[in-house]
Amino acid sequence: MITVDQAEEIILSNKIALSTEKVAIENALGRILAEDLYTDRDFPPFDRVSMDGIAVVYAQIATGQTDFKIEQTVAAGKPQVVLNDTTHCIEVMTGAMLPIGTDTVIRYEDISIIDKIATIQIIPPKIGLNIHTKGIDRKKDEILLAKGKKISPAEIGVAATIGKTQILVQKQLKAIVISTGEEIIPISEMPLPHQIRTSNSYALQACLKNWGVEADTVLLPDSQTIIEQKIAQYLSTYDVLILSGGVSAGKFDFVPKALENQGVSKLFHKVSQRPGKPFWFGMKDSKAVFALPGNPVSTFMCLHRYFKPWLDASEGIKTEPVYAELEQDIEVKFGLTFFSQVKLTQTGTGTLKAKPIIGNGSGDLASLVDADAFIELPLGKETFRRGEQYRVWLYR
Ligand X SMILES: Nc1nc2c(c(=O)[nH]1)N[C@H]1C(S)=C(S)[C@@H](COP(=O)(O)OP(=O)(O)OC[C@H]3O[C@@H](n4cnc5c(N)ncnc54)[C@H](O)[C@@H]3O)O[C@H]1N2
| CA-CA-CA-CA torsion sign (385, 387, 388, 390) | positive
Phi, psi (deg, nearest 5) at residue 298: -65, -45
Interface characters, 271-290, with ligand X (x: CB under 6 A) = ----x-xx------------
> Binding segment for ligand X among 117-125, 146-154, 161-169, 175-183 (CB under 6 A)?
175-183
Least Å distance between CB 328 and ligand X?
25
Length of the chain: 396
Classify each residue of 259-271 as buried b or exposed e, where b means 16 or more C-beta atoms within 10 Å of its C-beta: beebebeebebbb
Query: Does an H or E element contain 191, and which?
Result: none
Site string for ligand X, 6-45 (x = CB under 6 A): ----------------------------------------
For residues 123 to 162, the per-residue mask of contacts with ligand X, x marking binding by CB under 6 A and - elsewhere, is ----------------------------------------
Residue 35: partners with Cβ closer than 8 Å, 6 or more residues away: 147, 167, 168
Helix (H) or strand (E) holding 256: helix 255-261
User: Smallest Cα–Cα separation from 89: which of 45, 132, 136, 124?
Assistant: 124
Cα–Cα distance for residue pair 380/189, rounded to 1 Å? 46
Would you say 99 or 276 has its CB closer to ligand MOO?
276
Nearer to ligand X, 54 or 184 (CB): 184
What distance in Å separates the CA atoms of residue 162 and residue 307, rounded to the nearest whole number?
35
Contact pattern from residue 33 through residue 62 relative to ligand MOO, giving x for each residue in contact according to CB under 6 A and a dash for the rest: ------------------------------
Stretch that binds ligand X, among 104-112, 127-135, 291-299, 322-330 (CB under 6 A): 291-299
Residue number of the CB closest to ligand X reads 294
- Among 276, 282, 309, 356, the residue binding ligand MOO under the rule CB under 6 A is 276
Largest CA distance in the chain: 97
Question: Considering beta carbons, is residue 104 or 362 the nearer one to ligand MOO?
Answer: 362
When asked if residue 102 is in the footprint of ligand MOO (CB under 6 A), the reply is no
Binding site for ligand X (CB under 6 A): 179, 181, 183-184, 196, 198-201, 244-250, 253, 275, 277-278, 293-296, 298, 362-363
